[in-house]
Amino acid sequence: MIIQLQPSIPASDKAVIIEMVRSFDYKCTEVKTKDNCYLIGIGKKEFDIRLLGQMKGISDIHRVSDDYKLVSRKWKVKRTHIDLGDGVMIGNGTLAIMAGPCSIENELQVQQTIDHLVGNGVRIMRGGVFKPRSSPYAFRGLGVEGLKMWHTLARKAGIKIISEVMQVSQISEMYDYVDVFQVGARNTQNFNLLDELGKVDKAVMIKRGISGTIEELLYSAEYVFSAGNERLILCERGIRTYERASRNTMDLNAIPILKEKTHLPVIADPSHGIGIREYVEPIALAAVMAGADGLIYETHQKPEEAASDGQQTLDFEESARLIKRLGKVFDLRENF
Ligand code: PEP
Ligand code: MN
């Protein structure tokens, strides 16, 4: 059960409601986000919901049968969209495109990428400065200094930044320089990190775990929401299966399923999803047809020389072609 409280509810009225919820043998958790206040009631007993509905300070009550509550679509019919400012939106009925290198490498690379994005109408740039690498000897990112350099150049061009945060201590280091915190596939169930991201007022995009189920991804989002941050985006990035012909198995099934289960925007990452440069485009287009609210993919001026993930990275020509085709497929989907 989700009880939406009036944002200005006096503490005394809230205490009376909490008392009432507990009297039905329900566990009651208070969730306060930047703009809203909720009580989450967990329990089994049947009771007449009108008993609560009449109480002072309640704006709405919803029964939610899913085990995750706040991210469920059962209570929020209107989909959530994320406003990054300056007219950049995710999940508002347009197709959000986020593109950029796997890793931020140097100033020239960043400027060339920004020029490419601006030239093609893309407003959000991706890039890692803290890189989770399978081998400790691989390039592990430029760190916060690289992020600051990137931020200075991106702001001049009106470009928003999404970048991966790997641990709690990096949240405050990165805070001033990112628009969206990305939680990587290796951290989807890092519950301490998710709790702490619940305390910030910036958007968070959570990638599906490498071996994570769709439900586990929704629970991860529930962690962040219930800790106070409702500016959430989900990302399907492929899962590990027995198949070895591609880096991961892009689970396109997850896109319509997530869209049905949650009100949050759903993004597809075809680069990590298939891991093979030549096939990124068809998988990206298929993800749009499957209902994705946006795409995140890797592009680099010279993929062969990229510091990481070059094998799945598009060059700027391929990226420009993809952007055009994404637009066409999106129009087709919307007018189907
Ligand atoms: C990335 O976006 O470069 C990345 C490391 O992604 P994932 O967490 O999906 O592997
Ligand atoms: Mn990558």
Looking from the CA of residue 126, the nearest atom of ligand 1 is 2
Residue with the nearest Cα to atom 6 of ligand 1? 184
Backbone angles phi, psi at 329, to 5 degrees: -70, -35
- Given this model, what pLDDT does residue 63 score? 94
Helical residues (DSSP H) of 41-106, grouped into ranges? 50-53
Exposed / middle / buried, residue 141 (Cβ in 10 Å: 0-12, 13-18, 19+): buried
Quick: pLDDT tens for 87-131.
Answer: 999 999 999 999 999 999 999 999 999 999 999 999 999 999 999
Joined together, the tokens standing for residue 333 give 């989907």
Query: Rounded distance, CA 22 to CA 25, Å?
Result: 5
What per-residue confidence (pLDDT) applies to 262?
A: 98
Q: Please give the number of the atom of ligand 1 that sits closest to the Cα of 296.
A: 2
Q: Which residues of the chain have a pLDDT value below 50?
A: none
CB 279 within 8 A of CB 271: no
Pairing state between β 58-62 and 2-5: antiparallel
pLDDT of 175 reads 98
* Cross-sheet strand order for the sheet of 58-62: 27-32, 37-42, 2-5, 58-62
Burial class (CB in 10 A: 0-12, 13-18, 19+), 61: middle
- DSSP, collapsed to helix, strand or coil, labels residue 71 as coil
DSSP letter for each residue of 274-322: H--HHHHHHHHHHHHHTT-SEEEEEB-S-GGG-SS-GGG-B-HHHHHHH
140 within ligand 1 shell (Cβ under 6 A): no
170-207 burial code (b ≥16 CB/10 A, e <16): bbebbeebbbbbbbbbebbebeebbebbbebebbbbbb
Which ligand 1 atom is the nearest neighbour of the CA of 184?
8
pLDDT recorded at residue 74:
96
Q: What pLDDT is attached to residue 311? A: 98
Residue 159 Cα to ligand 1 midpoint, Å, equals 20
Task: Decide: 143 in ligand 1 pocket, CB within 6 A.
Answer: no
- Say what the pLDDT of residue 112 is: 98
- Predicted pLDDT at 150: 98
Q: Which atom of ligand 1 is nearest to the CA of 238?
A: 9
Please indicate whether residue 261, judged by its CB atom, sits closer than 6 Å to ligand 1. Answer: no
Taking the centre of ligand 1 as the mean of its atom positions, its distance from the CA of residue 2, in whole angstroms, is 33
Contact 234, 206 (CB under 8 A): yes
Q: Which residue lies with its CA nearest to atom 2 of ligand 1?
A: 102
- Note the pLDDT of residue 96: 98
- In total, the chain counts a number of residues equal to 336
How far apart CA 61 and CA 42 sit, in angstroms, is 13
CA of 287 to the centre of ligand 2 (A): 18
SS3 29: strand
Instruction: State the alpha helices, DSSP H only, in the chain.
Output: 11-23, 50-53, 107-119, 143-156, 168-174, 191-197, 214-226, 254-261, 270-274, 277-289, 316-334
Residues lining ion ligand 2 (Cβ < 5 A) are 102, 309
Three-class SS of residue 90?
strand
> What tokens does 39 get?
């009580």
Looking at residue 141, its pLDDT comes to 97
pTM beyond 0.95, yes or no = yes
| Candidate from 103, 105, 164 with most ligand 1 atoms within 8 A of CB, to mutate | 164
* pLDDT recorded at residue 143: 97
